[in-house]
Each structure stands twice: as structure tokens, then as C-alpha cells.
Amino acid sequence: MDKRGENMGGPDRIRFRFRSKSDDIDIMLEGTEKLVNSARSSIGMNGAMGFVREISTANGTGGKGNSQSEDGRIPNIDESLPGPPPDPSRIPSVVRTVGELDLEGEISALGASKQTDPDISALEEFLSEVEPPEPLANVLSVDPMAEAWLQLVLTMVVREHGHTSLSISDINRLLGDRVNKGEVELKVFLDGLWKLGKLERIHGGAEDHYSPNPSWLESH
């Protein structure tokens, strides 16, 4: 059923659509609001049945109502976007040959230090010359002095060499005698700090590594 009213180009034209596939019903009323509402009333289609939308006029006004068209398709969103159409030619392009980027140079320009392998012998020499650190004033610390030594070593590894972790054998070599702990005792001590969230335990390779939590490291 298709009933169209007068004033076809007027700004107050609307369209009413009702479909029922199960009952094989397809009703479309188009015209002025007064005419369409009158026709709906005459066929008993008042209330929330179907949907109503304004019909776009020649100057592009209207279009309120349901976002779907009467045939169930989604309208082209590009046709309703504000502003001028996009112009890809105005976007500056950066062309770089694969492998041409100097990654180390770019990182250095940002002020980041280059990663180097820690020299355990040099760290041992440094620890033998440095004054013993102050024990941590933390009631949660099981061994404040051992924890202070560990903070000092991991600070050197992270800030001077750019590494984020140290193996348990290297920690034992650097701190075992200073904190009076054997390898097994040191492992228990490190796992205790891991359980408290002060360290991260990294599995992989021949042995576990331990990485400091940044907030714990900054408390040094």
C-alpha cells in the first residue's frame, strides 16, 4: 500500500513504514504529517507500530527518525559527515627504506642509555670499595641489611647497564658473603622479596633471574 500526499517537495513530508514478513504485510505511507497520520488512523496503525522518518528534501534537510532506510539498508555514512571530504594528498608521507633507521642513534637522541652487559668483576670491585649502605628502615623487611645491599646492586645494574634483572648466581657472587647467606638461603631470601612484591622472578634459561619492582628500587 502506497499513499502519497500533496506538497511532495515540502519540508514537512514524512514517511511511515510497517512490515510484517510473517503476515506478508508491507505498508508505506508518504506525504505531509497530517495526511500520513490521518491515513494511519484510518487503517488502525496508530501508536508504536512501524516507524516514521522525515523525508530529505532537495536542499538536504530532514532525515530525522530511524537510521535505517525503508528497505532495511544502512545509509551511507559518508554522505552525512560534516566538512569537506578527506584529501589524502594533504597528509605528509614519511618514506624510509627498510633497515635504514638508525635505532641506536634515535634512542641516544632521546637520552636513553645503551644496554651493556654487567661486568660482575667490576661490580665486585665497586662493592668492595663502597661504604656499606644503611639498613632499610622497614618493619616488613626480614633482613634490612641484605635488602639494602640488594637494592644497591640492582640499582647499578638497571641504571648503569640498562638491564632489568640479574641471575641468582650473579647475585650470590656479589652478595653471598656480604649478607652471610649461602645459595639456598639467598634463594629463600629472594623468593621472600618476590612474595612481598618487591622483586619479580623471571623463569627461563639455565636459572631464575630477579628483577626489581620500580617502587621498591626508588625507595633506596
Sorted by sequence, the CB contacts under 8 Å of residue 143 that are 6+ apart come out as: 179, 189
pLDDT on residue 90: 82
Residue with cell 627504506: 97
Query: Half-sphere exposure of 144 toward its Cβ, with a 13 Å CA cutoff?
Result: 9
Residue-wise pLDDT tens digits, 5-34:
444 444 468 888 888 777 778 888 888 888
For the segment 130-152, what is each residue's pLDDT rounded down to a tens digit?
888 888 887 677 888 999 899 98
DSSP-based three-state secondary structure for 3: strand
Q: Are strands 199-202 and 51-54 parallel, antiparallel or unpaired?
A: unpaired
30-51: pLDDT as tens digits: 888 888 888 888 887 776 677 8
Tell me the CATH number of domain 120-218, given options 1.20.120.550, 1.10.10.10, 1.10.3720.10, 3.10.105.10.
Answer: 1.10.10.10
Contacts of 146 (CB under 8 A, 6+ apart): 175, 179, 181, 189
Q: Which of 142, 160, 129 is nearest to 199 (CA)?
A: 142
Taking alpha carbons only, the member of 124, 116, 194, 95 closest to residue 159 is: 116
The predicted model scores a pTM of 0.47
* Strand 2-4 with 25-32, pairing: parallel
Check residue 65 and report its DSSP letter: B
Most confident of 7-11, 89-93, 193-197: 193-197
Residue with cell 608521507: 93
CA distances from 1 to 9, 12, 19, 27, 52 (A): 21, 21, 11, 5, 16
Q: What pLDDT was estimated at residue 30?
A: 87
Parse the chain into domains and list their residue ranges. Answer: 2-75, 120-218
Burial of 1 (0-12, 13-18, 19+ CB in 10 A): exposed
Give 111's strand partners: none
CA atoms within 13 A on the CB side of 95: 0
